[in-house]
Amino acid sequence: MGLIVQKFGGSSVANAERVMNVAQIVTETYKAGNDVIVVVSAQGDTTDDLIAKGKEINPAGSKREMDMLMSAGEQISIALLAMAIEKLGFRVVSLLGWQAGFESSSVYGAARIKRINCDRLRTEIGQHRIVVVAGFQGLNKYDDITTFGRGGSDTSAVAIAAAMHADKCQIYTDVDGVYTADPRKISNAVKLDEITYDEMLELATLGAQVLNNRSVEMAKKYNVELEVLSSLERKPGTIVKEANNKMERMLISGVAKDTDVSRISVIGVADEPGIAFKIFSRLAAKHINVDIILQSVGRENTKDISFTVARGQGDEAVEIVKQFTSSVSGKDIVVDNNVAKVSIVGAGMESHPGVAAKMFEALYNARVNIQMIATSEIKISVLINQDDADRAVTAIHAAFFD
Ligand code: ASP
Ligand code: MG
């Protein structure tokens, strides 16, 4: 018994039947003696459809009006869910982001949650109502509606759980938890009972699209225990929490593939101090996030520097590097978009030697050539040819989990 925050994604409320199903889950939780705050996303593809409608009328529409438009999707969901809960005979109230006290930064389309004024939430809970809150939206200092970026409802739910000191934050989705690999591609992928925030963050960044990245960061910061579970099957999901001693430390908790990568190589720059600084500070100034970096050993007074960026930032990155290299003659810039990053993540690898060797052996056996390697305490990533990516994931997963 306590306060439980439950979040339901777009597919969980996609139609009337699914909305009734969510109302069942919510009211069962309430009947068990808990206070419940529910956060919902827009139904199905509503957000995409709204964006398309806006672009049809004005492709250059302002971000303020886009937020006004996009936030409407969640307004529909909260009203429908509240009506479903009423139908089951429970006291309920639906609230838009601003009514629930969400104060955000001013940046339309990518606003950050500054604080939640919990007065209204407390009052409604105090009157024993189930509270249904629109995810993904807040109000900035100009009293204008903002949105938190795609997938932002997860963050809304975690923020409420943190601000209200909830006992649990359950994220309901259309998969039943976090897996060791994409279960649609790897038939023997295993569902994890538990995973640490850090592992989940790495996996989220690497394209395992179960939880929004910012929501995991926030959960870690405020120590909100998350559970990822399916709204369609009644069974336990995956718990995301701080590592503790009781937690069985998996050597590897997952293998992930990211194809949203471009590799850029700057060939034949001067082998002298300051080159890396000059290139990467220019990229940073334009907010281009660089991932893997590789610099060759210098020979004949020149060296090569390669790095990866998100595919969408590839062209801009090349332009910036060109501006820099045009001041020095004879430099070549090579861009490769046919690459993929395959990574293994696991809190246990910190204390176990041989994990990298095992991964490389699996790639060797599958005849996959490695272009670049990067490691952190809990992650090893390799950059490979995109055509090899699925084979690589299968081989690595088999090496660690079969
Ligand atoms: N409806 C919004 C989106 O599709 C927010 C969310 O789903 O979390 O991005
Ligand atoms: Mg959505």
Nearest bound ligand to the CA of residue 147: 1
d(C-alpha 4, C-alpha 168), whole Å: 5
Average pLDDT over residues 348-359: 88
Task: Please give the distance, rounded to the nearest whole angstrom, from the Cα atom of residue 150 to the centre of ligand 1.
Answer: 5
What pLDDT digit, counting tens, does each position of 253-271 carry?
999 999 999 999 999 888 8
What pLDDT digit, counting tens, does each position of 22-53 carry?
999 999 999 999 999 999 999 999 999 999 99
Task: Please give the distance, rounded to the nearest whole angstrom, from the Cα atom of residue 340 to the centre of ligand 1.
Answer: 26
Which pLDDT score is estimated for 74? Answer: 98
* Residue the block writes with tokens 């801009």: 316
Which pLDDT score is estimated for 298? Answer: 82
Q: Hey, which of 69, 76, 137, 150 would you mutate to test ligand 1's pocket, going by the most ligand atoms within 8 Å of its Cβ?
A: 150
Computed over every residue of the chain, the mean pLDDT equals 93
Atom of ligand 1 nearest to the CA of 149: 9
Nearest bound ligand to the CA of residue 135: 1
Q: Hey, which of 38, 46, 47 would you mutate to test ligand 1's pocket, going by the most ligand atoms within 8 Å of its Cβ?
A: 47
Task: Please give the distance, rounded to the nearest whole angstrom, from the Cα atom of residue 151 to the centre of ligand 2.
Answer: 6
Nearest bound ligand to the CA of residue 150: 1
Are the C-beta atoms of 63 and 109 separated by less than 8 Å?
A: yes
Q: Hey, which of 136, 137, 155, 210 would you mutate to test ligand 1's pocket, going by the most ligand atoms within 8 Å of its Cβ?
A: 136
Task: Please give the distance, rounded to the nearest whole angstrom, from the Cα atom of residue 14 to the centre of ligand 2.
Answer: 10
Cβ neighbours for 367, distance < 8 A, ≥ 6 positions apart: none
Query: Is the C-beta atom of 150 inside 6 A of ligand 1?
Result: yes
Instruction: Tell me which amino acid residue 202 is.
Output: E
Nearest bound ligand to the CA of residue 151: 1
Residues whose CB is under 5 A from ligand 2 (ion)?
A: 10, 41
Which pLDDT score is estimated for 352? Answer: 83
Task: Find, among 81, 111, 86, 91, the residue nearest to 16 by Cα.
Answer: 81
Nearest bound ligand to the CA of residue 74: 1
Which pLDDT score is estimated for 203? Answer: 86
Q: Can you read off the two tokens belonging to residue 190?
A: 């295993």
Are the C-beta atoms of 3 and 125 separated by less than 8 Å?
A: yes
Nearest bound ligand to the CA of residue 75: 1
Query: Is the C-beta atom of 151 inside 6 A of ligand 1?
Result: yes
Task: Please give the distance, rounded to the nearest whole angstrom, from the Cα atom of residue 42 to the centre of ligand 1.
Answer: 6
Q: How many residues does the chain have?
A: 402
More confident residue, 188 or 28: 28
| Closest Cα to atom 6 of ligand 1 | 151
Task: Please give the distance, rounded to the nearest whole angstrom, from the Cα atom of residue 50 to the centre of ligand 2.
Answer: 11
d(C-alpha 59, C-alpha 74), whole Å: 22
Cβ neighbours for 184, distance < 8 A, ≥ 6 positions apart: none
Task: Please give the distance, rounded to the nearest whole angstrom, from the Cα atom of residue 156 to the centre of ligand 2.
Answer: 13
Model confidence band, residue 64 (pLDDT cutoffs 50, 70, 90): very high
d(C-alpha 41, C-alpha 157), whole Å: 10
269-278: buried (b, 16+ CB within 10 Å) or exposed (e) per residue?
bebeeebeee
| Closest Cα to atom 9 of ligand 1 | 150
Are the C-beta atoms of 202 and 40 separated by less than 8 Å?
A: no
Task: Please give the distance, rounded to the nearest whole angstrom, from the Cα atom of residue 215 to the centre of ligand 1.
Answer: 13
- First-to-last alpha carbon distance for the chain, in angstroms, is 40
| 330: pLDDT strictly greater than 70 | no
| Closest Cα to atom 5 of ligand 1 | 151
Average pLDDT over residues 88-105: 98
Query: Is the C-beta atom of 44 inside 6 A of ligand 1?
Result: no
Average pLDDT over residues 281-293: 92
Which pLDDT score is estimated for 150? Answer: 94
Model confidence band, residue 329 (pLDDT cutoffs 50, 70, 90): low
d(C-alpha 215, C-alpha 249), whole Å: 23
Task: Please give the distance, rounded to the nearest whole angstrom, from the Cα atom of residue 95 to the centre of ligand 2.
Answer: 18
Whole-prediction pTM: 0.86
Atom of ligand 1 nearest to the CA of 150: 9
Three-class secondary structure assignment of the chain: CCEEEEEECHHHHCCHHHHHHHHHHHHHHHHCCCEEEEEECCCCCHHHHHHHHHHHHCCCCCHHHHHHHHCHHHHHHHHHHHHHHHHCCCCEEEECCCCCCEEECCCCCCCCEEEECCHHHHHHHHCCCEEEEECCEEECCCCCEEECCCCCHHHHHHHHHHHCCCCEEEEEECCCCCECCCCCCCCCCCECCEEEHHHHHHHHHCCCCCCCHHHHHHHHHHCCCEEEEECCCCCCCEEEECCCCCCCCCCCCEEEEECCEEEEEEEEEECCCCHHHHHHHHHHHCCCCEEEEEECCCECCEEEEEEEEEHHHHHHHHHHHHHHHCCCCCCEEEEECCEEEEEEECHHHHHCCCHHHHHHHHHHHCCCCCCEEEEECCEEEEEEEHHHHHHHHHHHHHHHHC
Average pLDDT over residues 98-114: 97
What pLDDT digit, counting tens, does each position of 145-167 carry?
999 999 999 999 999 999 999 99
* Residue the block writes with tokens 């050539």: 369
Query: Is the C-beta atom of 153 inside 6 A of ligand 1?
Result: yes
d(C-alpha 377, C-alpha 380), whole Å: 8
Atom of ligand 1 nearest to the CA of 152: 8
Q: Can you read off the two tokens belonging to residue 34?
A: 């808990």
Query: Is the C-beta atom of 42 inside 6 A of ligand 1?
Result: yes
